[in-house]
Every structure is written in structure tokens, then in C-alpha cells.
């Protein structure tokens, strides 16, 4: 969590040092998968800015210290499952972008945290 907050400060200019930041997952599940980084980061910014993420949005990707968004393992399987579960939008690493579109799923692929935040601000 501290690393994600540092990335937000360094690469997005979002200062969190004066905030108490907690992340809670449904059912008390511990988040240990790096592919959850981008989703957690987006949730933190959503909370700090008091602006919700859009409904039926799925987000995944590993976030590096330099602000890069790295691919998640089995990205195509994740997108396929998201589409089957009724998600209509996906914010993902560019390296996980599908070669063929998924019916009913708009995919936005990014390389950097700044791009992900710009997509969210534009929604």
C-alpha cells in the first residue's frame, strides 16, 4: 500500500501523507496478487477525490515504482470472465489488450498510471 501511495505522489501529484489510508476487501480477503495494484490505486484516488469509478468497470494490472502498468498473468482469461460476468468496461495494461474485441466489453489499455487516471477523469 505504501508503494502505491508513493507512486501516486510521484507520478500523479496526489499527496496522501496527511491521510489515513485503509484498503478493505470483501469478506476480509487479503490481497496478495500484484495484478490488484491498479484496481487498489484507482479505488484510493476515487475515495480521495470523492468521485466514484464507473459502474461495471473491471481494473487489473501491476503498478511499478516508475509508474508503469505491467501486464497481469492470464489477462485474456480475466477479460473473458469479466465479460461473462456482465462488466462493460475494462481498464488494463496495454500488454494485456485483446487482439479480438470482447462483445459488450469496452477495453481501455494503458502503459502508465497517469494514463489510467486521465481515462478516469475523462469519464
- Residues spanned by the domain of 54: 2-122
Q: Report how many domains make up the chain.
A: 1
Dihedral sign computed on CA atoms, order 25, 53, 43, 61: positive
- Give the separation between CA 53 and CA 42, rounded to whole angstroms: 8
Q: Which three-class secondary structure state does DSSP give residue 8? A: helix
- pTM across the whole model: 0.89
CATH of residue 57's domain is 3.30.230.10
Helix (H) or strand (E) holding 57: strand 57-59
Overall size of the chain counted in residues: 123
Phi and psi of 19, rounded to 5°?
Answer: -120, 150
Print pLDDT tens along the chain (123 aa): 888 888 988 888 888 777 778 777 777 767 788 899 999 999 999 998 899 999 999 999 999 999 999 999 999 999 999 999 999 999 999 999 998 888 899 999 999 999 999 987 765
Q: What per-residue confidence (pLDDT) applies to 82?
A: 96
Amino acid at each position: 500500500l505504501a508503494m502505491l501511495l508513493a507512486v501516486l505522489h510521484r507520478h500523479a501529484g496526489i499527496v496522501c501523507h496527511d491521510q489515513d489510508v485503509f484498503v478493505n476487501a470483501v469478506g476480509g480477503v487479503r490481497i496478495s496478487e500484484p495484478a490488484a495494484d491498479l484496481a487498489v490505486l484507482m479505488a484510493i484516488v476515487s475515495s480521495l477525490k470523492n468521485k466514484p469509478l464507473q459502474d461495471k468497470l473491471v481494473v487489473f494490472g501491476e503498478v511499478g515504482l516508475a509508474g508503469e502498468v505491467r501486464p497481469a498473468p492470464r489477462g485474456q482469461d480475466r477479460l473473458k470472465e469479466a465479460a461473462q460476468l456482465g462488466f462493460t468496461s475494462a481498464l488494463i495494461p496495454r500488454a494485456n489488450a485483446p487482439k479480438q474485441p470482447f462483445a459488450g466489453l469496452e477495453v481501455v489499455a494503458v502503459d502508465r498510471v497517469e494514463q489510467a487516471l486521465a481515462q478516469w477523469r475523462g469519464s
